[in-house]
Structure 1
Amino acid sequence: MTAKNEIFFKKLFEETHGKAFNFLKALSKDENVAREVVQTSFIKIWKNIEKFKNHPNPQALVYTTVKNVFLDEMRKQNRLNAVLTSIEENEHLNHTIADTGEDSSIAGETFTEVHRAIRKLPERLQRIYTLYQFEELTPLEIADTLQLSITTIRTNIETAKLFLRKELRKYRN
């Protein structure tokens, strides 16, 4: 990172951080959520500082980034809430989760096998699949981050999924 980039980032941060935080605090009605989303947003901005430096209105791009990170976070939270609600509503799932040690050892074994299968992927596919599946980045965000085409990212995700389906076939019901 060059000194010019650091100076630009510091100035951009000072100009926009307070307003971004207040905007998110009002939107989320939760100071902790606002703080976390602003922090995540500025990390993303730091990683893409050249894009902001070359933008005609970097302050507007900051607010767009903050808004998008907030929306992504809310989508993740909604997915998590949906899963938890589904578990609570389906007693058979509760029974399965809290079942005997034998069942939990099978679940642990499956978890281990999933991670083992992921580690068998070539490094590039591992990275792309991990960003997609666990970091919940969109193919477009991954393409931006890795400086690859969106077609390449989508192809790599599908290749990884196909490989993992084959690798994990014995763990399916």
Structure 2
Amino acid sequence: MSLEQFKTRVLPVKDKLYRFALRFLKDEDDARDVVQEVLIKVWNKRDGMNQLENMEAWCMRITRNVSLDRLKSKHSKYTDPMREGFDVSGGENETPYRAAEMSDMMKNIGSFIEALPEKQRQVIQLRDVEGYSYKEISDILEIDMNQVKVNLFRARKAVKESLLNINAYGLG
């Protein structure tokens, strides 16, 4: 892989790698370090990259593994990555009340996702925040595609039920 190929195939996904690492590590500096480590690993293995079918999925898998290794070696503090993945502005019709309501809802969704089991949390992050296909998620997490679908269904259902409970009962 040449420098030009690296710039066109790998560097465009660095923001996704960062958000994925941040979801694991909950620390912005650690997530940036992981992405840098991943980019170095990819560059060092560039000679064997031309036969890779899905470079992005492979980079995500490396990010997952490096993030998990880092988690095993130390505990990290929490930062909220939810706002970075979504544009929650209401456009020109947004009122201060609506902006506060959306902000609260995004915080609630973030906390609901954080409360999910690890696999469900990873799958919902990759599918609904990052936009990966079921096949790509299956490759990244190294699990069967049916497990991806089941975990995504359960994660969405849990988040939806939690949102409905807040709206119905004002619980948070």
Using structure 2 for the length normalisation, give the TM-score: 0.50
- Sequence identity of aligned pairs in percent? 13
Q: Which has the larger radius of gyration?
A: 1
| Bigger share in helix | 1
**Residue 5 of structure 2 aligns to which amino acid in structure 1?**
A
Using structure 1 for the length normalisation, give the TM-score: 0.50
Residue of structure 1 in register with 2:114 after alignment? 119
* Cα deviation digits, residues 61-104 of structure 1 (max 9, x gap): 24x546999xxxxxxxxxxxxxx9xx9xxxxx53432x1x2222
Query: Which stretches of structure 1, 4 residues or more, deviate above 4 A after TM superposition?
Result: 38-43, 66-69
Residue of structure 2 in register with 1:134 after alignment? 129
- Quick one: structure 1 residues 19 and 161, their matched pair in 2 at CA, closer, same or farther if it must change by over 3 Å? same
Kept in 2: contact 1:20–1:66 (CA 8 A): no
Number of residues of Structure 1 aligned to a counterpart in Structure 2: 115
Measure the CA separation in 2 of the matches of 1:95 and 1:39. 31
Q: Which consecutive residues of structure 1, in runs of 5 or more, have no partner in the other structure?
A: 1-15, 25-33, 70-83, 88-92
**Residue 113 of structure 1 aligns to which amino acid in structure 2?**
N
RMSD value over aligned CA atoms? 4.0
1:102 paired residue among 76, 82, 97: 97
**Residue 133 of structure 1 aligns to which amino acid in structure 2?**
D
Residue of structure 2 in register with 1:36 after alignment? 11
* Cα deviation digits, residues 14-64 of structure 1 (max 9, x gap): xx2246269x5xxxxxxxxx7733878985x94xx7xx96xxxx52x24x5
- Residue aligned with 1:133, SS: helix
Residue of structure 2 in register with 1:4 after alignment? none
- Report the alpha carbon displacement of residue 142 of structure 1 after superposing the two structures with TM: 1.4
Kept in 2: contact 1:129–1:157 (CA 8 A): yes
Q: Which consecutive residues of structure 2, in runs of 5 or more, have no partner in the other structure?
A: 18-37, 59-86
